[in-house]
Structure 1
Amino acid sequence: MLKRALQPITDVLNPFKVRKPRIMNFNPVDSVLTRPVPEQVKITVFEYNERELTEDQHATLQECTDYRRSDKIKWINVDGLRKEEVNYICKEYGIHYLLEEDILSVGQRAKMDEVENRLFCLLPMVYFKAESSIVEQEQVSLVMGPNFVISFQEDPARDVFDPIRERLRIQGSKVRNMSTDYLFYSLLDIIVDNYFIVLDKLGERIELMEDVIPHQANKRTLARINYLRKEMLLFKRAIAPVRELVNGLLKSENDLLAERTEKYFKDVYDHIVQATEMAENYRDMVTNLLELYHTQTSLKMNEVMKVLAVVTTLMAPLTVIAGIYGMNFDNIPELHTKNGYFVTLGIMGVMLVSMIVFFRKRGWF
């Protein structure tokens, strides 16, 4: 009955797999992380103002050059990173070579930079893979210049920008009526907001583990706790530097950032502080899960030891009596007594029952 009741919980927690890098590969020769070269690069462009919108889902590099000549605001999203495409776009839009290297880098810490009137942000975009309870991340680079924002993503299969695309398609929406820095803020904000979605999923796993531990305090449960602790540690390590990134934007005096959008970046800063604190709290909760596991294991061990101690205590006097009368001597007085065997068994039985009654009255078991 208990096993059936716990089945939904164990089904959710069942996937326990060794973390495998989804995007990064390790090159033993160079001892560095390398990114697989994508088969194709997808470039999408949103060009807009408050009245007009042009959406190009399959833009070419030449079309990206043509869009540069327009005075409208442009959002160019590059899915899949290949050196040729990144180099071409960076040259066309005046993005410094140092920033290009950061865009193509692997495993970078979140950072913010200002080079030649270009604002650059590099930060992780995180996802929660429910099938294996893995927190996955990809590196996203955002570059803002006059009238354009360019986003570079590693994984062409997914991102979190769909709500912004929907808002851009609505005439009269705030993002359509605001300047380039508001678009830059919107992209940054939705990446940070997605951290909370991943945190909620991790919180659910922690709550489920709290229900499982009292009933299944075994090695498999301990492995799951350690696995969850590792995911929390990796998640916190990934998002913690984003706080410094947003703080750098707030301190920036770059002309690309209008004073009226400062309050929006302050809102992003509040969100990332909250996300970091939640991640820290969840990490403490996982540590408490380990303590709960060890406590439960100790209680189980104590119960076993108590039963063994009671059984040993009950059998000790009987063993002494049996040992005495089991000695191989001919001159034991009671050895040839009629019905001696049954009398001895009776005495042993009375002693056993008396000890059980005594232990029960004392509440020892």
Structure 2
Amino acid sequence: MIFPVFNTKRTKEIFSFNPTVIPTREEASEIKIQVFDYNATEIHEKNYTKVEDCFPYVNNANVTWINIDGLRKADVEKICLQFNIHFLLGEDILSVGQRPKMDEMEGMMFCLLNMLYVNKAGAVETEQISMVLGKNFVISFQDDADRDVFDGLRNKLKANGSKLRQSGADYLCYSLLDMIVDHYFVVMENLSEQIELLEEDIIRAGNARSLARINNMRKELIVLKRNVLPVRELVNGFIRSDSDLLEERTIKYFKDVYDHIVQATDLVENYRDMMMSMQDLYLNKANMKLNEVMKVMAIVTCLLAPATVIGGIFGMNFDSIPSIHNKYGFFIAVGLMLFIPLWMVRIFRKRGWF
């Protein structure tokens, strides 16, 4: 995968967001709702297209995961009202370009972060996901109905005797966060492969295209850093929380996610340092190439200097120049023009100048 050589549009996408201006969200034409209602012995999977179908799961004795793909303001307000979710959290769910964060409000725990993907062009794409943890339920809100990172989690839910089925909603919330954070490493592994290919290309034949690709890669690392680093604070919020929604035995699992996000943060910083070193490598190689060109030109100038001097001397309009009337004078002059540069080449090579 390679980036476009001059991707100025990407720069605008990354840096044009203004938090003081309320962005407008384009409402989804349709929504998809997937519900997993389960306990240790049984599980029920349902698919709906109306939020009203989720209302019977309020105060359900089982653990319920409601995943809503596609956001519409009216639907979010309805489900927030039915599940007693504060309206400020509803505004965060509908927000665009929000910084990853975690909140506790009126007996609910809320977190917002981004799932990351790499598209065919090698650029990092983000999809905002919001999760609300309540008593015996987790509600997740996504923009894209065609992709997420939770397929492995769905398979675990369907497996009888899995730890997920034996645990409560807090463990489900941890599992969702863990899936998102683990997928960060998949994205970073993809970027790592691109960095290795770029480094090899610079060492072999660095040119202006290589410099443009370095700049494009640095932009993607900015996107990665912007979305990964705040998640560390988000997970730490769960660890420090005194909420009754979190069992003490579940905290150690959030600590494991915290360790993963710290590692991901370190990798992002390492990639950033690699890109800085790669840019220095490109500039140093360009300078070395320029030095080689100047070196060759200097040698050529030195080798031509004797011929220029001899030709200038014998080209002067004087009769008293030695050997000017000698019938072998021309051959002597040409011989000197060839011999002296060859002798100079031997001296230069002996001294290791080239």
CA separation of 1:307 and 1:37: change in aligned 2, threshold 3 A = same
Larger mean CA deviation between 58-67 and 48-57 belongs to 58-67
- How far apart, CA to CA, are the structure 2 residues paired with 1:175 and 1:99? 26
- Match 1:319 to one of 303, 308, 326: 308
1:286 corresponds in structure 2 to: 275
- Match 2:60 to one of 70, 73, 93: 70
3-state SS in 1 of match to 2:33: strand
3-state SS in 2 of match to 1:199: helix
2:256 corresponds in structure 1 to: 267
Q: Output the amino acid matched with 1:136.
A: E
1:142 corresponds in structure 2 to: 131
- Match 1:304 to one of 285, 293, 301: 293
- How far apart, CA to CA, are the structure 1 residues paired with 2:215 and 2:229? 21
- How far apart, CA to CA, are the structure 2 residues paired with 1:270 and 1:174? 21
For residues 235-277 of structure 1, the C-alpha deviation after alignment (integer angstroms, 9 at most, x for no partner) is: 1121111111111111111100011111111111111111111
Structure 1 residue runs without a partner (length 5+): 1-11
Matched, 1:94 2:93: no
3-state SS in 1 of match to 2:298: helix
- How far apart, CA to CA, are the structure 2 residues paired with 1:38 and 1:23? 21
- Match 2:112 to one of 108, 122, 128: 122
- How far apart, CA to CA, are the structure 1 residues paired with 2:23 and 2:207? 36
Q: Cα RMSD over matched residues? A: 2.2
Q: Output the amino acid matched with 1:182.
A: Y
1:6 corresponds in structure 2 to: none
Larger mean CA deviation between 255-264 and 335-344 belongs to 335-344
CA separation of 1:323 and 1:33: change in aligned 2, threshold 3 A = farther
Q: CA deviation at 1:81?
A: 1.3
Q: In percent, how many aligned pairs have the same letter?
A: 52
For residues 36-83 of structure 1, the C-alpha deviation after alignment (integer angstroms, 9 at most, x for no partner) is: 322211111111111121111234222111222532111111111110
8 Å CA contact 2:27, 2:71 repeated in 1:
yes
- How far apart, CA to CA, are the structure 2 residues paired with 1:244 and 1:359? 63
8 Å CA contact 1:22, 1:136 repeated in 2:
no
- How far apart, CA to CA, are the structure 2 residues paired with 1:132 and 1:286? 19
Structure 2 residue runs without a partner (length 5+): none
1:170 corresponds in structure 2 to: 159
1:212 corresponds in structure 2 to: 201
3-state SS in 1 of match to 2:102: strand
2:29 corresponds in structure 1 to: 39
2:177 corresponds in structure 1 to: 188
CA separation of 1:79 and 1:14: change in aligned 2, threshold 3 A = closer
- Match 2:327 to one of 338, 344, 348: 338
- How far apart, CA to CA, are the structure 1 residues paired with 2:252 and 2:232? 16
Q: TM-score, normalised by structure 1?
A: 0.91
8 Å CA contact 1:46, 1:75 repeated in 2:
yes
Q: Output the amino acid matched with 1:145.
A: G
3-state SS in 2 of match to 1:265: helix
3-state SS in 1 of match to 2:48: coil
Moved over 6 A (4+): 21-24
Paired residues in the alignment total 352
Q: CA deviation at 1:336?
A: 3.3
Question: Larger relative contact order (C-alpha < 8 A, sep ≥ 6)?
Answer: 2
